Amino acid sequence: MTMFVVFIGPAGSGKTSLVKAYGDWIEENLYLRIARVNLDPGVSVLPYTPVFDIRTIYTLQDVMKTYGLGPNGAFIKAGELIVEKLDEIMKHEPFRNVFEWDMILVDTPGQMEAFILRPSSNQFFERLSKYGNVIGVFVIDASAINNYVDALVLWFLSILTQVKLNITTIPVINKIDHARNLLYAKTIIENPEEALEIIKKQSIEGIISDIAPELAALAIKTI
């Protein structure tokens, strides 16, 4: 069965670059048939050649002009349009003949909150799951992590995304050449119980000291 791998994450976390690099790596090493899909109407240049590109139907500029919106409103509207135009989108490759591909890598809009965190994403993923297995890759920018709590918050965001979309979502630490200190993310992923103990011992002031260990404990339950 074809697998859809959907790249999700905050703007600038490296989703588009990873779709290119991961797809190339799979093609070269595993010889699988890879299709790339761009769902970001606002991107200007893509480093890969998409089999389907939402910009062939509308661009962010089109949406801004047609609906008289600014960039943020247009990103929200563009997410809703994906669902409104779903039947039309599904008539295009690679959706039309999904069985011709082993893996379809889906690049999502730069503004995660305008698509993933809204109802339109659920409708989109429900439809996608009729065509193949769908998994999410939650891309975390390593340079955004400066301590254990930063790592925990981003990990938790990945878990919330999984809950929201109802698809298995794997947190991936990206841009490791830009990491401030890889130890925080590494410990959270490889040994979350140890990270939980460290967070508990840190004498952090405020609400974080009560909530962070509980978030960590909840996150560990989902592994």
Binding site for Mg ion (CB under 5 A): 15-16, 110
Token readout for 199 is: 């967070």
For ligand GDP, the binding residue among 177, 190, 205, 210 (CB under 6 A) is 177
Q: Assess 12 for contact with ligand GDP (CB under 6 A).
A: yes
Binding to ligand GDP (CB under 6 A) within 28-57 occurs at none
Question: Among ligand GDP, Mg ion, none, what does residue 13 contact (CB within 5–8 Å per kind)?
Answer: ligand GDP
CB of 39 to Mg ion, least distance (A): 9
CB of 65 to Mg ion, least distance (A): 22
For ligand GDP, the binding residue among 92, 118, 127, 175 (CB under 6 A) is 175
CB of 218 to ligand GDP, least distance (A): 26
φ and ψ at 192, to 5 degrees?
-60, -30
Question: Among ligand GDP, Mg ion, none, what does residue 17 contact (CB within 5–8 Å per kind)?
Answer: ligand GDP
Q: Assess 178 for contact with ligand GDP (CB under 6 A).
A: yes
- How would you classify residue 88: left for phi > 0, otherwise alpha for psi between -120 and 50, otherwise beta? alpha
For ligand GDP, the binding residue among 14, 41, 79, 192 (CB under 6 A) is 14
Between 13 and 121, name the residue whose CB sits nearer to ligand GDP: 13
Q: Which of 137, 189, 141 is nearest to 168 (CA)?
A: 137
Between 23 and 192, name the residue whose CB sits nearer to ligand GDP: 23
Binding segment (CB under 6 A) for ligand GDP, from list 11-19, 68-76, 98-106, 114-122: 11-19
Dihedral sign of CA atoms 47, 48, 54, 57 in order: positive
Q: What's the 3-state SS for the chain?
A: CCEEEEEECCCCCCHHHHHHHHHHHHHHHCCCCEEEEECCCCCCCCCCCCCEEHHHCCCHHHHHHHHCCCHHHHHHHHHHHHHHCHHHHCCCCCCCCHHHCCEEEEECCCCHHHHCCCHHHHHHHHHHCCCCEEEEEEEEEHHHCCCHHHHHHHHHHHHHHHHHHCCCEEEEEECHHHCCCHHHHHHHHHCHHHHHHHHHHCCCCCHHHHHHHHHHHHHHHCC
Q: Assess 17 for contact with ligand GDP (CB under 6 A).
A: yes
Between 16 and 215, name the residue whose CB sits nearer to ligand GDP: 16
Binding to ligand GDP (CB under 6 A) within 83-142 occurs at 110
Question: Among Mg ion, ligand GDP, none, what does residue 71 contact (CB within 5–8 Å per kind)?
Answer: none
State the residues that interact with ligand GDP by CB under 6 A.
9, 11-17, 110, 174-175, 177-178
